[in-house]
Amino acid sequence: MRTLADYLRITPGLDPADTERLHLLVEDWHLLADLGFSDLVLWVAHEGGWIAAAHTRPITGPMVFVEDVVGQKAHVVFGDLVDRAARDGASEHVRERGQDLIHERARPVRRGGRMIGILSIHDQLDSGRPQTRLEENYGAMSDELFAMAADGTWPAPASPSGGRHGAPRVGDGVMRLDAGGTVEYASPNALSAVRRLGHQGPIEGEVLVQVIGNLPGQAGNLDEGVALVAMGRAAWRADVQVGGAALAMRAVPLVRQRARHGAIVVVRDVSELRRRGSEVMTKDQTIREIHHRVKNNLQTVAALLRLQSRRVPDGSAKEALAEAVRRVGVIAMIYEALSTGFAEALDFDDVAVRGLQAIVEVASTGGAIDTRVTGSFGMVRAEDATAVGLILSELVQNAVEHGIPEGGSVHVDAQRTVEAEGVDILRVTVVDDGAGLPTGFRPSRAGLGTRIVTSMVHDLGGQIRWTDAEPRGTRVRFSVRLRGVEV
């Protein structure tokens, strides 16, 4: 099935601003559907007729169409309803469908005085039952939004759509304000939501911003954004929190002949959402604090090893302690990167560049060292980051100290691929332009650093290979299997 974007792309005569206007309408038309207890259909011009490009249903009442009507021609389903709206500026009729009576209305959607589509509303007529007060008020607000959608004053370009997590909808609670911000009507759910904040009196007949500002436990003056929304003056969202209770509010100013004459304010009790969000944030902060403390403890260990090396007269012992300090420093650098965010994975490209620079800065060489990193390591989970960091550090350190002791270049290339059955593979190549491998080199009989590298690569289910580079130098290639990173 084609999407709205697909239909708009092939609709003649629409410019980018027209397309954006129709997208904005469809993003927010759930308000109109819920207030009118109606199905909504957006029609666009197509090959000499009108075709349904988008369809939504209400969550506040019964739907009219069980099957989606997107892709159907207007005359096939609704006769001349859409054609008459395009010709006359509005159309309305009642048709029978089995034992039901379907009330249908249609109006052009305009931008800059031009017709860019047709919006139709479809709802079931009740069989003589008197309307409740809620239904009467919902219907009046629905009629106003329908008129504003047709003349281009709703949705406002700056209006937030209802897609945000926790955004209020009509079923959560709705109020109608007059031009001065006085509540003319409040649904039962809206009244309950405001009372959970601590307000015990009536709401209807009261100025909403004063109700919010006088809540027990409300400290200081109201935030300007909250005041604008509570007065219905801005098409925006704001949250109010008093103690453990939280209320999300969204205002839709009602405009007639370019003048604001009231507003619809949709509200939702989001106390539980905020509580759960706070719990998640607390857990994330705890994880970050743990990484931070581990980093600090590792730096302390490195400092103690550094102090100990100064008291050791033996040159080989000093060198061994210096190597230990470097390895602990690599682990500390990885935990420092983890402690700066909430995620349990990190962008390893930054770690690789910083580690490479740190090794070069402290390397004892007789000449300049040129370093280069290409490709991408991607996101690496904390469980794998330490091992990958140590492997890379050992290989670069070995290249600098033994491959190019008089200066030269080191090139690190990383490639990340997902292979059969979703196996995540990282392949890394470290190349220097030094003298090459010593005669008879065997990893199993090499120094401690090489044995550490070999062991860690095998622990990650990978392989490593040392070869001579062309025209000169050493090339080390290793591949490891990484744990998947949740997006």
CA dist 211 and 223 (Å) reads: 14
Report the CATH number at residue 20: 3.30.450.280
Instruction: Give the helix, strand, coil percentages of the chain, each rounded to 5.
Output: 40, 30, 30
pTM over 0.75: no
Domain-embedded: residue 297: yes
| Residue 156 within any structural domain of the chain | no
The 3-class SS string of 103-118 reads EEEEEEEEECCEEEEE
Lowest mean pLDDT among 258-272, 276-290, 371-385, 444-458: 276-290
- pLDDT for the residue numbered 365: 62
SS3 state of residue 63: coil
14: left (phi over 0), alpha (psi -120 to 50) or beta: beta
Helix orientation angle between 382-398 and 348-362, rounded to the nearest 10 degrees: 30
Cβ atoms 8, 53 nearer than 8 A: yes
What's the CATH code of the domain at 475? Answer: 3.30.565.10
- Count up the domains in the chain and report the number: 4
13 and 138 together in one domain: yes
Do 332 and 397 share a domain, yes or no?
Answer: no
Domain assignment present for 157: no
Residue 194 sits in a domain whose CATH number is 3.30.450.20
Mark whether 485 and 358 lie in a shared domain: yes
Does one domain contain both 28 and 125? Answer: yes
Q: Is the pLDDT of residue 47 over 90?
A: no
pLDDT at 427 exceeding the cut of 50: yes
Most confident listed range (129-138, 140-149, 163-172, 351-360):
140-149
The span from the CA of 345 to the CA of 341, in Å, is: 9
- pLDDT 10s digits, 21-46: 999 999 999 999 999 999 999 999 98
Highest mean pLDDT among 229-233, 342-346, 434-438: 229-233
- Domain presence at residue 162: no
Same-domain check for residues 317 and 367: no
* 13 and 55, same domain (yes or no): yes
Examine residue 227 and state whether it is found in any structural domain, yes or no: yes
CA separation for the pair 427, 418 (Å, rounded): 11
Kindly state whether residue 216 falls inside one of the protein's structural domains.
yes
249 and 277 housed in the same domain: no
Structure tokens given for 162: 């209802």
* Lowest mean per-residue pLDDT among 21-35, 94-108, 286-300, 418-432: 286-300
Q: Residue 341: which pLDDT band, with cuts at 50, 70 and 90?
A: low
Shared domain for 338 and 352, answered yes or no, is no
Q: How many other C-beta atoms lie within 10 A of the C-beta of residue 328?
A: 20
Indicate whether 460 belongs to any domain. yes
What's the pLDDT tens digit per position in 185-229?
A: 999 999 999 999 999 889 999 999 999 988 887 766 778 889 999
Q: Which residues contact 400 (CB under 8 A, 6 or more apart)?
A: 359, 360, 363, 365, 369, 410, 432
Give the model's pLDDT for residue 88.
Answer: 94
- On whether residue 255 sits in a domain, the answer given is yes
* Dist CA 435 CA 429 (whole Å): 17
27-to-20, 112, 155, 388 alpha-carbon distances in Å? 10, 20, 9, 45
**Spatial distance between the Cα atoms of 265 and 270, rounded to a whole number of angstroms:** 15
Query: 220, 239, 269 — which closes off a domain?
Result: 269
Q: CA-CA distance, 361 to 473, in Å (whole number)?
A: 21
Task: Determine the structural domain holding residue 316 and report its residue range.
Answer: 272-342
Q: What's residue 487's pLDDT?
A: 47
Task: Please indicate, yes or no, whether residues 309 and 327 belong to a single structural domain of this protein.
Answer: yes
The answer to whether residues 130 and 30 belong to one domain is yes
